[in-house]
Structure 1
């Protein structure tokens, strides 16, 4: 290993943590000792010692070199790479850490140029984007047609139990951070806290039929109109009210990354146990982590899996659904 960046310590721990990898780490070269250096990670010397050994007595038993030097040392890195090529040693460059923030860079071709990005989304591919959109349009048209005879019945029950509009319209944060109007069947009495307060288990703002709609996801059905318009997708990170976007974007690292994808009627976070009220910050952090995971691992079959799990939760209502 070459360098003193904490990223090397993470790599070392990964190697020795899994004996099946077969790695034996000889040690590291660096001008500075690694802070909190693992006991068995040996210090082999400074960079001068490395270059001396490369020129005079190269170690033929070395199979891999892991380098985490600053790009300010580009000449030295090039020299090390050249040495590795000449001696059949595999060279790996590990992105450095900035404080506790690790750059998880992924390769991406831009024409003939190789670039590295910290977020690589399958939906940035035009073909994948087209497949998802065609699926969204087909399903949303079917669902909107099916809703036509049901809307008067739902509207009548809402009007009987709670005076006010049938539909609830709220501004939410959408794709690329843009604001859009999200539609739902109104499930609460008209109140002044609708744009700031999350629904809770025994929320007095809910009326009886509204509570039933929320538990069975019926209140979300008008969002198929949002999907048809292109504001939303059937599957994606759930759109949050503007008030929560403002708060959590300041509290949670990478919170805004979830907006690299169109918001969805249902999402990976919701079908993996993170639906409903977020009483503590860690709950929202877990939800955001799952949203980002979905964006970076999207496949058409993953969407089908999430839809299946959502339909299952309608039949067997989620205990976290308020």
Structure 2
């Protein structure tokens, strides 16, 4: 309910203000006439950052851990706002202490508040309080799956009181209440709060009748299209003029502000790697490569970038110069275990992922990102795209030096197409569920795997 969302928003804003007052008091900072402006600044920032992170979009169906993870970026915004405020006030004496205390207090207070609110709400719903009664129109696969989900998650606070369909399914065990023509009677008998329409095929006249009946009795109508026929896990609905449009795949990186954030991080992170690591490691690796075998230090290969457009991908050379990339049958040869084409130093480079370091230059040039689906050789793409469904979807974003699939151990040779399908599944899931924090998580997972060692890296 919107009123509950407003309550949660304004109560959180109040706790933000209280956290600042507590931090300022504990730090020994004397109250200032401008403190009121700082508090307002923090409140306004929380309002807009919470809207950007969709913190209050749902409450019944969101787990506490998910809500907690949404609170953290809002706290980070608050920290930046507070640092900016003290910088503008030129108050360096108390800035660090107040900011640190504010972050700690706000995190603890909001975490406890949200945990208790979630537990109280769930306790009330499990005990039959604040429960919404639902009638499902349509006993299709979608309707039954939705019904089973609500039965398993009583803490959501929804209870299915009956089904309405044009026929009487035998598997409903007494839950069948009538046909769509009898909906008004069913709503009176069940005292339902909401109607969920899950019809496989929509008849416009029938749908209009159902909605009019619901509106007549002030019952909320929700529609779940039969998305099971779509090969995607994320959807978005938006208005195109006066027409509602369902986009089968939702891509956060379609939005300019997220692309700007990701690009900014790519540049900063890549420059830091080049200055702090590449500057001294590059000469060492270059000398080892030249001493081990004749040929250039870099291996430059054409691969597909965003939109399947060709890019020149840089790597440290790990194979012999005249190593073939096609077998006798004309099939692309992936690097395999004990591959005779790989040099001795090349094995070390591949095992440690150091062969990928030059791709930070690709990132700075704008061809690649730090995190994204790994780019494959053009011949590999051509051979694979016709065998794996949705393969080209992974090229909707820039390729990455590391990716979700690689962080989960899916790297190296892929002679088994089931493993390749899993890679593609990870890549598409990443595209549809991208977030800045997901990129950070993948980077840490990759670093951990490099230290631990990866059995499929060869």
Question: TM-score scaled by structure 1?
Answer: 0.85
Q: Residues 204 and 78 of structure 1: is their aligned pair in 2 closer, same or farther, counting only changes over 3 Å? A: same
1:132 to 244, 262, 275: 262
Map 1:1-322 → 2, pairs under 5 A: 1-3=136-138, 5-21=140-156, 22-30=158-166, 38=171, 40=173, 49-54=179-184, 58-69=188-199, 73-97=203-227, 101=231, 104-108=234-238, 114-145=244-275, 146-190=277-321, 191-193=323-325, 196-322=332-458
Say which structure is richer in helix: 2
Q: Which moved more, 1:149-158 or 1:118-127?
A: 149-158
| Root mean square deviation, CA, Å | 2.9
Aligned pair count reads 316
* Runs of 5+ consecutive residues of structure 1 not aligned to the other structure: none
Q: Residues 305 and 232 of structure 1: is their aligned pair in 2 closer, same or farther, counting only changes over 3 Å? A: same
> 1:239, 1:108 → 2: CA distance?
32
> 1:26, 1:305 → 2: CA distance?
43
User: Is the partner of 1:65 in helix, strand or coil?
Assistant: strand
* Runs of 5+ consecutive residues of structure 2 not aligned to the other structure: 1-135
Largest Rg, 1 or 2: 2
Instruction: Please state how far the C-alpha of 1:277 moved relative to its aligned partner.
Output: 2.3
Q: Residues 7 and 235 of structure 1: is their aligned pair in 2 closer, same or farther, counting only changes over 3 Å? A: same
Instruction: Please state how far the C-alpha of 1:203 moved relative to its aligned partner.
Output: 1.8
> 1:3, 1:216 → 2: CA distance?
55
Question: TM-score scaled by structure 2?
Answer: 0.62
> 2:174, 2:376 → 1: CA distance?
46
Instruction: Please state how far the C-alpha of 1:103 moved relative to its aligned partner.
Output: 7.8
Instruction: Please state how far the C-alpha of 1:111 moved relative to its aligned partner.
Output: 7.2
2:106 matched residue in structure 1: none
2:7 matched residue in structure 1: none
Asked if structure 2 preserves the Cα contact closer than 8 Å seen for 1:9 and 1:38, the reply is no
